[in-house]
């Protein structure tokens, strides 16, 4: 008798019963023997899109980057350079076997930086040194190396770490690179009516109501790193009265800015539940000792949700994690909007249990899978058909469904984000059935 091979999965109800202290190992990324490899769907391909450490490290206007690592570590950087318009901002120091064994390359980095400056027609604002796992294993003191390079070059040289080995630590690469890109800010007199939005390497959608709400609260200048066109504009971020954290990966950067620049922070969460967005804006007003009038956007969002409920009640959905949102929070929102969320493909953290507890009551049989599990090789989407998918990973599993990738670089947020997602869902379904 042969045993049927199946992908690992667990229901929302079962997860909620286990509790946040007993998350199955299959849903914790650090427990996977094979982490980022073609055995799992979630691996970094040569044509990877979005903002990884290398591209994010170039967020400072006028910056250039020296990538230091074996040739294999730069394979997707070459594609990014050509396809992403970064060809004049990326430089490479290719480590050989002797470098890896002896650390010889560390003495050559200052010289490499000076050679880059000699080759450039315009002096950059900063040179970012991107290190790979080779130097993580060597235990390289990159701060010291960068200080030497800075003395030789006569301009700021800042390290950023493309250390996959640290992805499960306190400072994973995408957390630390956010700290790095704000590290050049120098303390200035703070302006009462200026704020920074921290979180993403692309701006919020232009129609996001958060801009209007902040203006309503008396804010006249709203800084986003992605909208800074010059190094001077970047430096002006040090004048902010407070930071608004929009992505948890920016908490470390915000802590450093508070310590070094005296800028405190407030954190907002990207949500797709209209009621929770309203609650969050009211809480923002309370923290700032004023009131927030979000009624115009709140009522418009509720009207759209009511329309969606009438049109799509019972429509089946699968949600992946390769999209602009928390898969579990989005599942809860769409369930409350009348959709039937059949499957979620995402790893789980303790913070997600605030959504799981509600999903347990509303959609206990929703099944959760892990993109990182090699057992997904046995997944057969034809056995679990759904009407609509959200996220490229969900689309991969359900080729015949209507697809909403929801992974644009411009970031959705607030009521505007909810409306944009619901319009995308509506358009995808109508387009598939037209």
What number does CATH give the domain 191-268?
A: 3.40.50.1980
Domain chopping of the chain, boundaries: 53-166, 191-268, 304-433
What number does CATH give the domain 53-166?
A: 3.40.50.1980
pLDDT at residue 163, rounded to an integer: 58
Q: What are 36-47's pLDDT values in tens digits?
A: 433 445 544 444
For 23-113, strand residue ranges (E) read 64-69, 90-94
pLDDT at residue 425, rounded to an integer: 97
Look at residues 66, 58, 55, 56 and name the one whose alpha carbon lies nearest to residue 113. Answer: 66
Phi, psi of 287 (to 5 degrees): -60, -40
pLDDT at residue 1, rounded to an integer: 46
Q: How far is CA 203 from CA 185, 196, 224, 408, in A?
A: 20, 12, 7, 11
Distance of CA 24 to the CA centre of its chain: 24
- pLDDT by position in tens, the chain (length 434): 456 789 999 999 999 999 999 999 989 876 754 444 334 455 444 444 567 777 888 999 999 999 888 877 766 666 666 666 788 898 998 888 888 888 888 999 999 999 999 999 999 999 999 887 777 777 778 899 999 999 999 999 999 887 565 555 567 778 889 999 999 999 999 999 999 999 999 999 999 999 999 999 999 999 999 999 999 999 999 999 999 999 999 999 999 999 999 999 999 999 999 999 999 999 999 999 999 999 999 999 999 999 999 999 999 999 999 999 999 999 999 999 999 999 999 999 999 999 999 999 999 999 999 988 889 999 999 999 999 999 999 999 999 999 999 999 999 999 999 999 999 999 999 998 87
Q: Which CATH superfamily is domain 304-433 in?
A: Nitrogenase molybdenum iron protein domain (3.40.50.1980)
Domains 53-166 and 304-433 share a fold: yes
330 neighbors 420 (Cβ within 8 angstroms): no
pLDDT at residue 278, rounded to an integer: 98
Q: How far is CA 358 from CA 29, 328, 353, 361, in A?
A: 24, 10, 9, 5
pLDDT at residue 103, rounded to an integer: 85
pLDDT at residue 311, rounded to an integer: 96
Kindly give the interhelix angle for 209-216 and 414-433, rounded to the nearest 10 degrees: 160
Q: How far apart are CA 198 and CA 244, in angstroms?
A: 6
Which two tokens mark 415?
Answer: 């009521």
pLDDT at residue 45, rounded to an integer: 46
């Amino acid at each position: 008798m042969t045993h049927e091979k199946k992908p690992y999965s667990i229901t929302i109800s079962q997860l909620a019963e286990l509790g946040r202290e007993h998350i199955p190992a299959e849903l914790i990324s650090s427990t996977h023997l094979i982490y980022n490899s073609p055995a799992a769907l979630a691996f970094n391909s040569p044509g990877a899109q979005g903002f990884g450490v290398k591209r994010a490290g170039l967020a400072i206007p006028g910056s250039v980057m020296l990538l230091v690592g074996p040739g294999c570590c730069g394979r997707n950087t070459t594609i990014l350079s050509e396809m992403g318009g970064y060809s004049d901002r990326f430089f490479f120091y290719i480590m050989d076997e002797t470098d890896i064994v002896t650390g010889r390359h560390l003495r050559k980095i200052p010289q490499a930086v000076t050679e880059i400056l000699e080759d450039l027609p315009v002096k950059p604002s900063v040179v970012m040194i991107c290190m790979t796992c080779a130097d993580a294993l060597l235990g390289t003191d990159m701060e010291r190396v960068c200080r030497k390079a800075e003395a030789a070059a006569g301009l700021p040289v800042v390290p950023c770490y493309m250390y996959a080995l640290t992805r499960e630590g306190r400072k994973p690469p995408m957390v630390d690179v956010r700290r790095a890109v704000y590290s050049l800010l120098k303390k200035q007199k703070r302006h009462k009516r200026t704020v920074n939005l921290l979180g993403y390497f692309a701006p919020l959608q232009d129609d996001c109501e958060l801009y209007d709400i902040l203006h309503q609260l008396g804010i006249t200048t709203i800084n986003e790193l992605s909208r800074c066109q010059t190094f001077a504009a970047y430096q002006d971020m040090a004048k902010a009265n407070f930071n608004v954290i929009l992505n948890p990966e920016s908490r470390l950067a915000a802590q450093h800015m508070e310590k070094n620049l005296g800028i405190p922070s407030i954190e907002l969460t990207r949500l797709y539940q209209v009621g929770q967005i309203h609650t969050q804006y009211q809480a923002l007003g309370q923290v700032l000792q004023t009131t927030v009038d979000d009624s115009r956007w709140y009522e418009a969002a509720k009207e759209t949700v009511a329309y969606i409920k009438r049109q799509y009640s019972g429509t089946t959905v699968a949600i992946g994690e390769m999209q602009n949102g928390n898969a579990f929070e989005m599942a809860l929102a769409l369930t409350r909007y009348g959709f039937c969320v059949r499957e979620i493909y995402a790893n789980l953290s303790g913070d997600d249990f605030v959504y799981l507890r509600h999903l347990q009551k509303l959609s206990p049989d929703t099944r959760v899978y892990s993109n990182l599990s090699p057992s997904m090789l046995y997944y057969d989407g034809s056995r679990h058909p759904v009407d609509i998918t959200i996220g490229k990973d969900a689309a991969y599993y359900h080729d015949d469904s209507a697809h909403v990738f929801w992974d644009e670089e411009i970031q959705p947020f607030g009521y505007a984000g909810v409306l944009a997602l619901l319009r995308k869902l509506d358009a995808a379904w109508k387009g598939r059935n037209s």
